[in-house]
Amino acid sequence: MRNGYHPRSARHSDAKRPNSEFRIPNSEFAGFTLFEVILALMILGMLTGAVYSITSAATEASRATMEEQSSVRRVEAFLKVTRDAFLNLPREGRVQLEFSKSASGAPVPEVIFEEAPGVFGVPSLGGGSLILAARPRADGSRTMSLLLVPRDPGIGELDRLKAGNGWIPLLPRVEKVKWSFFANGEWKDEWPRENGRPLTVRLEMEYLDMGGSKIDVQFWIPPLAAAQKNQPPAPTPAPQKPQEP
C-alpha cells in the first residue's frame, strides 16, 4: 500500500460505479417532442374531419328523404281531396273553367264548383261557389288554392275577394297548370258554364318540390244516367178495355 492506496477498496468502488457506456440519458423519456405533438394533432384533426363529413352526409341524406316523403304526402293529399270533390259532385252541381288575371297580368285558371255542398270538406256553400285556382307566387311558381265565394257577389266584391287573404292554400310550388274536360268523345281546354256536366276532368302540372315531376291525373265524374238507374221504374199503365158498341 502506497500513499494510502488500497487496491481492494479501489476494486470495490469500481464495482459500485455504473458503467457510463450503458447509461441512457433521462432526457429522452422526459416527454413528447414537438414533432410528435404536431403529428398527433394532425391525425386527430383528420379523424375529426372524417367523422364530421360522414355525420353531415348522413344527416343531409336523412333530411332530403324526409322532405321528399313530405312532398309526396302533400301532393297525394291534394289529389285525394280534388278527386273526392269531382266524384261526389251532387246531381245539381256544376263545374266550369274561367281565366282571370293576376296583378302582373298572368292568366290564372280557375275551376268553379257551383251548387256543390260537401266538396273539399265544406258542408254548406250557402248558395255560393268554390274556386280552385293556381295563384301566382313571388318566386314565379303557383299555389293551388281554394276560395269560398258567397251567392251573387257584385263585380267589385268578387274582385275584392280574389285579391284578399281568404284563399286557402292546398298545394304550393306548382307550374304549368292546365285543365281539360272530356265530353262527346273529345278533350276540351275550355269549359263554360253552359256546357253542363263533363264526364272526366284532367289536370296537368309540374310539382317543383319533387324535382319538377310532371303530374297528369284524371278525375271521373259520375254521369247523371247512373243516378237515374237507381230510381224505381215508373208503373206500367193498365190496358184499357175496348168500349162496347
Q: Are 115 and 94 in contact (CB under 8 A)?
A: yes
Q: What is the pTM of this model?
A: 0.68
Q: Where are the domains of the chain?
A: 72-223
Q: Are 209 and 173 in contact (CB under 8 A)?
A: yes
* Residue listed under C-alpha cell 245539381: 92
Buried b / exposed e along 100-139 (16+ C-beta atoms within 10 A) = eeeeeeeebbbbbbbebbebbebeebeebbbbbbbbbeee
Per-residue model confidence as pLDDT tens for the chain (245 residues):
455 555 555 455 554 555 545 455 555 555 678 888 888 888 888 888 888 888 877 777 777 778 778 889 999 999 999 999 999 999 889 999 999 988 788 899 999 999 888 889 888 877 889 999 999 998 989 999 999 999 888 878 988 998 889 999 999 999 999 999 999 899 999 999 899 899 999 999 999 988 878 999 999 999 886 444 445 554 554 444 444 44
* Residue listed under C-alpha cell 293576376: 102
